[in-house]
Amino acid sequence: MPRPTNSEIEQYYFDLFRSHYALPAGRIEYADKPDVILHGERRLGIEIANLYLADGSDPASEQVQRRRREQVLERAQSLHLASGGRRIELSAAFDPGVPILEIDPLARKLAEIAMRVQGSSGQVDSLTFDHVPELTFLYHSGKEYAGARWRSVQSYAVPFVSVERVRQLVVEKTAKVADYDKGCQAFWLLLVVDFMDPAQDQFIEWPDGVALAKSPFERILIYKPQFGQVVDAVQAAM
């Protein structure tokens, strides 16, 4: 099945948003720069973006780290089997505060630990991997089978809304407003937080007493689709 395009993802989120939020009356047009144009009493342009907790170019971001966790586990299992290890299924959790910087060294450490504990079963004593700060938890059932696969069993704490990331996104989108449809009389910025993605999930209540610098966007809305929750990010008065 082909991966949805950015336009299809934006349309999906906006269709959900329309079901949860009373928009001004008018005809909806899916476009580009901005992503949506509402033709009503006035022409309203709406730009859509996902609000990630960190920029995806940051090596410590969840977007990067989740790929690296899977790479570490896949490489470690391969090394374990190549060394004559049993086909056990291993579950691991990693410390988000200790980002994975290199795949191979960590994979080798994990493969060595697996070789030591493969004869037992259950949760692995943390003293066994206290020399590996990236790890917080290890478990294996002790069973051996052909399709065994090593897995990440990550747990997450849900933080409060990342005001700084909102500021950064507003700055990024403001720089593009000059290229937006000139026929629009106003613009909104819709920031989507998909709680199914740990790289995005956050409580979206806007903190009291905090205001963003005034922007070209008439409104900046933060939207959590699965909860039907929409809040305004407060902007300073002119």
> Per residue in 104-128, pLDDT tens?
999 999 999 999 999 889 999 999 9
Rg (CA), the chain: 23
Do 92 and 110 form a contact (C-beta atoms < 8 A)?
A: yes
Cα–Cα dist 227/161, whole Å: 15
DSSP one-letter code for 16: H
Cα–Cα dist 14/37, whole Å: 11
Residues 140 and 168 in one domain: no
Q: How many residues are recorded in the chain? A: 238
Q: Where are the alpha helices (DSSP H) in the chain?
A: 6-20, 62-82, 103-117, 163-174
Residue 122 sits in which domain range? 62-152
3-state DSSP assignment of residue 153: coil
Cα–Cα dist 167/234, whole Å: 11
Residues 137 and 171 in one domain: no
Supply 122's token pair.
Answer: 């259950």
Domain-terminating residue out of 125, 152, 179: 152
> Per residue in 222-236, pLDDT tens?
999 999 999 999 999
Residues 43 and 117 in one domain: no
Single out the residue of 13, 28, 8 nearest to residue 196, CA to CA: 13
CA distances from 22 to 19, 47, 170, 227 (A): 8, 17, 23, 16
Cα–Cα dist 42/218, whole Å: 13
Among 66-80, 89-103, 137-151, name the one with the lowest average pLDDT: 137-151
Is 70 exceeded by the pLDDT of residue 68? yes
Domain-terminating residue out of 120, 137, 152: 152
> Per residue in 21-59, pLDDT tens?
999 999 999 999 999 999 999 999 999 999 999 999 999
Sheet bearing 26-30, strands edge to edge = 26-30, 36-40, 43-50, 186-192, 219-224, 229-232
Residues 70 and 140 in one domain: yes
> Per residue in 184-199, pLDDT tens?
999 999 999 999 999 9
Residues 147 and 68 in one domain: yes
Q: What angle do CA 165, 187, 170 make, to 5 degrees?
A: 15
Q: Is the dihedral of CA 53, 56, 67, 229 positive or negative?
A: positive
238 domain-assigned: no
68 domain-assigned: yes
Residues 104 and 219 in one domain: no
